[in-house]
Structure 1
Amino acid sequence: MKPFLHKWRDDRGAVSTQLVLVIPVLLLLALLIVQFAVVWHARHIAQYAAERALAAARIKDATAADGRAQARRSLAALGSRILTAPSVVVDRTAAHTTVRVAGAVIAVVPGLTLHASGTASGPTERITTPAGGRL
């Protein structure tokens, strides 16, 4: 009966060793899940800001600067901490307006740098005649 007891004594501390190896992996997995949820949220913020900027920039007497200002206001209201260092590009022509909002996502996992962006585009509003000519 003595060899049986000796075998049990050799396994002491095995659970502690396994926990030391498994817990950091589980914590990293949880942090990665949170990080990708933050990226998902940042994408929605960027898309919302791009859509609001498009709505402001595409009206008849608006300018690209009006779209940029609206995007900055939307980002300040929603994503100033989530979407860091955002850039807003508004391309407005006589026929088409495009807005792109991009930025870096706040890091939950140290050393992991991810980016999010949103794009919106649509026709620029203009007044035309019934024959299709422009006024």
Structure 2
Amino acid sequence: MGRRGHHHLGHRHRRHHDLRSQQEPGDQGTLITRGAQHGRPERWRSDRGALSLEMVVLLPLALSLLFLAVQGAVYYQSRTVALASAQEGARGAAGYEQTDEHGRSAALDFAARAGGDGLLESPDVEVTRDRGNGTVTVRVTGTTMSIIPGWDPQVSQSSTRAIEEFTRVEDFEGSGIDRTERPSW
């Protein structure tokens, strides 16, 4: 029994030696190991450092895409704050007997509360009244923070609202509207 086991180990050693001897000197091909003989993948000598090279190329690309996504989200949020500020300013300016200053103040207050520092920096509010159409338009413009050096994205949004006013019944005389008619609601 001892002899048979010894013979079996010697045979395995000889087979491994024969496979290595088939490789020519200086050959950079495959390095055959015992694992390769038993169905495990072969290891290539030329693969050394391949993972490091992939990381050198792919990591900056992945980080750039991440920064671009974050910058897009910040820009979108800044536009949302600018639009909400313009809507708030239009509500303030369009109120009954309100002035442009009421709208400007309402827009700036909302931008300060919602935008905070960095999201909507140095907002500028422009209020325009169109008395012919009975509307007021508020435009909020500012810059948003940037994680890309040297780039200051501009954000501008506007909102238009009808100016609230009360009318007297006498204002409708001669217009064809029957003032004795009750609303149907």
Q: TM-score range by the shorter chain?
A: 0.7 to 0.9
Partners of 2:115 and 2:158 in 1: CA distance? 16
Partners of 1:105 and 1:72 in 2: CA distance? 15
1:84 aligns with 2:107: no
Q: Which runs of 5+ in 1 are unaligned?
A: none
Paired residues, number: 133
Q: Give the superposition deviation at 1:124.
A: 1.1
Which structure has the higher relative contact order (CA within 8 Å, separation 6+)?
A: 1
Q: Report which of the two structures shows the higher radius of gyration computed on alpha carbons.
A: 2
TM-score scaled to structure 1, two decimals? 0.87
Counterpart amino acid of residue 119 in structure 1: S
Instruction: Pick the structure with more strand per residue.
Output: 1
Q: Give the superposition deviation at 1:18.
A: 1.1
Counterpart of 1:28 in structure 2 is: 64
Partners of 1:66 and 1:39 in 2: CA distance? 27
Counterpart amino acid of residue 56 in structure 1: G
TM-score scaled to structure 2, two decimals? 0.65
Q: Give the superposition deviation at 1:82.
A: 0.3
Identity among equivalent positions (%) equals 32
Q: Which runs of 5+ in 2 are unaligned?
A: 1-19, 33-42, 174-185
| Residue of structure 2 aligned with 1:72, choices 108, 116, 120 | 108
Once superposed, what is the RMSD of the aligned Cα atoms?
A: 2.0
- Whether the aligned pair in 2 keeps the contact of 1:57 and 1:64 (CA below 8 Å) is yes
- Whether the aligned pair in 2 keeps the contact of 1:93 and 1:124 (CA below 8 Å) is no
Counterpart mapping for 1:1-135 below 5 A: 1=20, 2=23, 3=27, 4-5=30-31, 8-80=44-116, 81-94=118-131, 95-130=134-169, 131-132=171-172
